[in-house]
Amino acid sequence: MELNNENDIPGDNDIEGDGEDTNEKIADGINDSSEKNSSKLFTGLPHSYDDYVQSFMLFCRSANINDAVADKFLHFSKYFMPANNKCPGDIRTVKSHFEKLLPATNELKEIHFCKTCESLLENCQCSKSQAKAFGRLQLFSIKPQIKMLMEKYKDALSAYRDRLSQCENGVYMDSLNGSARKRIIENIISLAMYTDGLKIASASNKELWILGFTLLDLPMKIRFAQSNFIHFAMWYSDTKPPWQIFSKDMNKQLNDGIKTENIFYAFKVLQVNADMPARAILLNCKQCGYTPCLRCDVVGEKIGTQIHFSNREIQTTTRSSYYQLLNKSLSSEQKKTNEHISVKGKSPFDQILRIPECITGDIMHSGYYGPLKNDFVEILKIKLVKTAFDDTIKR
């Protein structure tokens, strides 16, 4: 399968933008026009029982509400709702139903591997250099999640695709992978891959990594809603995820598709959204040094203790030039000596990603940090500028 270019990443603050409160997040997680299989909370309400359960769980977690207080909220809500409402009576009922709404998962796996050769211990050929590591992996089935979204937003998907296909120059204008999306003539479900990790607690060395997708064919307003994120894998360990060990099963899912209304839609991952450390692991490339960028051929020059980069002599990396770099990195002669190669080896997701076109710019970590970030902060302190900026975004 072949793939392509750029966009944004999903997250808690990406539903309507920064600065929103919990109520706005909850409201945006629900789509009024969507048809739900579950029953209504009460007659005349456009939202379903499922909507209420998901939103209430988000509310409790966002506000750090314990079970005792949650029960009081539920009793209060139920009392003031119309008769014959289906509001759950206690938090245990909410949690029980919420678990049923979670995406189907495979059995939790315990992975014992070697960090040196990045393979399972039973396949490790290292002797003295073996570095044992351990982690827990949870894989999710993406088919039912995508099918649910397609059924839920059937009309919105159809209308959105029709509208974008008529855009000027025939390109999907509101997506940075738009030209790539337009070139694919087969029926596809276009996805943006996202991955990142975070520490569970400041006093712990354990990290939780998530890998999942955003459905790019959804309208922008609902594309990045929390409830529309497609979960694929979770990794819990004190080491970074060794994706290559279990990427075979993951690629198998992505080299498939779904059939709906007698039409088969193939899965296509058009872009990768990740910060530089996460992207380096996913694509098996360098995140710093003389060649920190896979998307261009820029090579830094060491001056004193710093590496400097030319801002003029840059050429975009192509698919063929990427494979030339890959072959060089795999060459035993150059592997240990050539530090001017950005590629460390083959990506575990090479089968389903079109590298380097699929790589998005890490604007949050490379553009909005340092002097540029400070300038933005100072400029936006001016009320007139801030208002004009907000009005432009709203339009």
The band of 156, judged by pLDDT with boundaries at 50, 70 and 90, is: confident
Based on the fold, state whether residues 373 and 335 are members of the same structural domain.
no
Based on the fold, state whether residues 113 and 91 are members of the same structural domain.
no
Whole-number Å distance between alpha carbons of 72 and 69? 5
61 vs 314, more confident = 61
Q: Is 146 helix (H, G, I), strand (E, B) or coil?
A: helix
Amino acid letter, 225: A
Q: Does a structural domain hold residue 68?
A: yes
- Last residue in a domain, options 58, 85, 101: 101
Based on the fold, state whether residues 338 and 363 are members of the same structural domain.
no
Is the pLDDT at 122 greater than 70, yes or no?
yes
Q: Which domain holds residue 303?
A: 285-345
Determine how many CB atoms are found less than 10 A away from the CB of residue 59. Answer: 16
Q: Does a structural domain hold residue 313?
A: yes
Based on the fold, state whether residues 176 and 312 are members of the same structural domain.
no
Whole-number Å distance between alpha carbons of 233 and 250? 9
Based on the fold, state whether residues 130 and 192 are members of the same structural domain.
yes
DSSP alpha helix (H) spans, the chain = 22-28, 49-62, 67-80, 91-101, 142-152, 154-165, 178-183, 220-223, 243-254, 276-283, 319-330, 363-366, 370-379, 383-394
User: Distance between the two ends of the chain, CA-based, in angstroms?
Assistant: 37
If you write DSSP's letter for every residue of 191-230 in order, what string do you get? EEEEEEEEES-TT---EEEEEEEEETTS-HHHHT-GGG-E
Based on the fold, state whether residues 88 and 118 are members of the same structural domain.
no
- Per-residue pLDDT tens for 83-117? 888 899 999 999 888 887 776 666 788 999 998 88
Whole-number Å distance between alpha carbons of 183 and 380? 39
Token pair 């970074």 is found at 240
Based on the fold, state whether residues 28 and 71 are members of the same structural domain.
yes
Q: Output the six-digit token pair for 28.
A: 């945006």
Based on the fold, state whether residues 273 and 133 are members of the same structural domain.
yes
What radius of gyration do the chain's Cα atoms show? 24
Whole-number Å distance between alpha carbons of 378 and 372? 10
Q: Does a structural domain hold residue 187?
A: yes
Is the pLDDT at 319 greater than 90, yes or no?
no
Based on the fold, state whether residues 202 and 333 are members of the same structural domain.
no
Based on the fold, state whether residues 267 and 298 are members of the same structural domain.
no
Based on the fold, state whether residues 146 and 202 are members of the same structural domain.
yes
Q: Does a structural domain hold residue 4?
A: no
Q: Does a structural domain hold residue 11?
A: no
Based on the fold, state whether residues 299 and 323 are members of the same structural domain.
yes
* Total number of domains in the chain: 3
Length of the chain: 395
* Closest listed residue to residue 225, CA positions, set 372, 378, 58: 58
Q: Does a structural domain hold residue 327?
A: yes
Token pair 């360098």 is found at 286
Report CA 178 to chain centroid distance, whole Å: 18
- Last residue in a domain, options 68, 84, 101: 101
Is the pLDDT at 29 greater than 60, yes or no?
no
Whole-number Å distance between alpha carbons of 380 and 395? 18
Q: What is the mean pLDDT of the chain?
A: 78
